[in-house]
Structure 1
Amino acid sequence: MQIQSSYGDEQAGKLYLVPTPIGNLEDMTIRAKKVLQQADYIAAEDTRTSGIMLDRLGIHNKMVAFHKFNSKEKAPELIKLMREGAVIAEISDAGMPVISDPGFILVQECIKNDIPVVPLPGPSAFATALIASGFDAQPFTYYGFLPRKSSQQKPYFEQMKQAMATSIFYEAPHRLVKTLETAAAVFGPDRQIVCARELTKIHEEFVRGRIQEVLDHFQEVAPRGEFVVLVAPATEAVQALSWDDLVKLVQELTEKGVSKKDAIKQVAKENKVSKNELYDRYHQK
């Protein structure tokens, strides 16, 4: 067991996790700005992007690049600095550090080395989209960025199809239509979704509707900006077995002496499918 106290010796090294605005610079908190001004180093996912933002905020502390391509090599260097007393503030390109960036590696190393980790609250694109989506916010599942290939996305969409929770993922504009096509193939045309883009910026937009409607929209209007995609929860348990599997269950019951009528009724009830639909499919065999 480990107990961490973040507010002990002010001279000791520590790691601050500092959220940055996802669009509107006015969303930077007073505390976040103060921590960045006082930190010895700012570990940034993209020093160019973050440099522009920090310059606008009047913050010119030394930056260190810390991203997915150098995180394993860079983490020991940052740990050494903090063990020597340095205060490091980690920031993402936008939003919360660690979420969809390699910050968790540095957090894990700090915990291993008994270096305090101090999280600051702040903006997050998926949480911002969730509260305005119109979907139930409890529970929800956040997937980050999905794999790019359709074949690799399908298992995720199968999970979302069954989920009794709002499902959330990020997508780039040039992949949005293809991803929605794959999702529609799994969910069917009627599952409700929301695509939110350019959150907190002047072109902020929420596109809500049935998945086929939203797909049709973006096939006509080219997607622009980074997207948060939210999928409505399943309203009830979704059929887990194929129709062929359900027909086999009916056949197994009839072979045990159960009448066809009772077998169809039982299988339909247990799997929450239409009795009439199962009857038709059984007699097509």
Structure 2
Amino acid sequence: MVLYVVATPIGNIKDITYRAVEILKESDIILCEDTRCSLKMLNYYGIRKKLISYHKFNEYKLIDKIIEDILNGVKYVLISDAGMPGISDPGKILINRCIGENIKVDVLPGACALINGFVLSGFKNDIFTFIGFLPRNTKKMKETIKLMKETYTALIIYEAPHRLLNTLNLLKNEFGENTKIYIGRELTKLFEENFRGTIEESICYFEGSKIRGEFVICIENYKKDNIQIDDDFILNEFYENKRRFNLTTKENVKKICEENNLKKNYVYDLIINRIDKIE
């Protein structure tokens, strides 16, 4: 008695594990967020099974039948349109019900946009907080963003194209226009787009363009007291300042020292020792 939870590609159709394909081929029924969307991937791998549409509008209606079937030996696999079920996608309710019924839940790892986004951001934070999609209600959205500001980690949210600019403006009002941000679009696809800069720069970047696709947004939100100022931190700051402001080595060292209360001689010696690798 097992419910299989399988991650599917977030863009590139080949980003799926061998085991995931095997489990899908061995299944009796595949629960799909949108059967039309899932069919493209399933047909690519020659998987022809019974598909049932399973989403937030019908999961309570279907759950009793699914549990009964699993207890009777029917092999169910749960997938979403893209990524890992249960991460800003349907799945949590069924998974929790299976746990309550002592049904094993087997999660097959795979693509997940928030992980790609965090890695691509290049932020210094060792930890992150995943928020998911912000509330649609403007008041609740503002309240959530205020709570986010008090969470001193990298912050990761998902956003739809028609709400992107409004969300960025709300983030600017709360975090400040110079807060660093990463925005990823069409991740793993041919035309993947990655923006890195400040919140103000991101607004200028997206204002004049056609905004399509879903977005992963990472906000660098940390207290300097919580960041270990070591050699790696200093060198990362040097790279970032050089990329964004095209500073000379002298200007760069001065900026790093002033912002982090460091001794100029130490920072300068560190940079000079690595300069052949940097410039």
- TM bin (shorter chain): 0.7 to 0.9
Shift of 1:52: 1.9
Corresponding residue of 1:125: 113
Contact 1:164 1:236 in 2 (8 A): no
Aligned-pair CA distance for 1:222? 2.4
1:27 partner SS: coil
- Runs of 4 or more consecutive aligned structure 1 residues displaced over 6 Å after TM superposition: none
CA distance in structure 2 between the aligned counterparts of 1:187 and 1:112, rounded to whole angstroms: 41
**Residue type at the aligned position of 1:134:** G
CA-to-partner distance for each residue in 1:213-240, whole Å, 9 max, x for gaps? 1011111122221100110022347xxx
* Alpha-carbon distance in structure 1 between the residues aligned to 2:210 and 2:154: 26
Asked if structure 2 preserves the Cα contact closer than 8 Å seen for 1:150 and 1:182, the reply is: no
Distance 1:41 1:147 in 2: 33
Letter in 2 for 1:124: C
Q: Does 1:223 align with 2:211?
A: yes
Secondary structure, in 3 states, of the residue corresponding to 2:182? strand
1:170 aligns with 2:158: yes
Q: Give, in angstroms, the shift of residue 137 of structure 1.
A: 5.1
CA shift in 2, pair 1:31/1:137, >3 Å? farther
With over 3 angstroms needed to count, the CA separation of the structure-2 counterparts of 1:126 and 1:190, relative to structure 1, is same
For 1:65 and 1:36, locate their aligned partners in 2 and report how far apart those are by CA, in whole Å.
Answer: 16
Q: How many residues align?
A: 226
Maintained 8 Å contact 1:161/1:234: no
The equivalent residue for 1:210 is 198
TM-score by length of 2: 0.78
For 1:77-122, what per-residue CA distance to the aligned partner results, in whole angstroms no more than 9, with x for missing partners? Answer: 1101101001111001100011112201111111111111101111
Identity %: 43
C-alpha distance in structure 1 between counterparts of 2:119 and 2:125, whole Å: 7
Tell me how far apart the structure 1 counterparts of residues 124 and 20 of structure 2 sit (CA, whole Å): 30
AA partner of residue 21 (structure 1): P
Q: Does 1:51 align with 2:55?
A: no
CA contact (8 A) 1:162 1:234 kept: no
Gaps of 5+ in 1: 1-12, 238-285
User: Which string of whole-angstrom CA distances, capped at 9 and with x for unpartnered residues, describes residues 106-164 of structure 1?
Assistant: 11111111111101111100001111111135211101110123322112222222322
Shift of 1:60: 0.7
Unmatched 5+ residue regions in structure 2? 226-279
**Is 2:184 the counterpart of 1:196?**
yes
Q: List per-residue Cα deviations over 1:17-66 (Å, max 9, x = no partner).
A: 00000011111110000000001110111111111221112111111111
Query: Is the CA contact (8 Å cut-off) linking 1:17 and 1:117 kept in structure 2?
Result: yes
User: For residue 277 of structure 2, what is the aligned residue in structure 1?
Assistant: none
- Contact 1:130/1:137, CA 8 A, preserved across alignment: no
What's the secondary structure of 1:74's corresponding residue? helix
Contact residue 125 and residue 220 of structure 2 kept, 8 A: no
**Match of 2:130, as an amino acid?**
Y
Quick one: which amino acid aligns to residue 75 of structure 1? I
Give distance in 1, aligned partners of 2:143 and 2:34.
Answer: 31
Moved more, 50-59 or 121-130: 50-59
Conserved 8 A contact 2:9-2:111 = yes
Instruction: Please tell me the residue identity of whatever aligns with 2:12.
Output: N
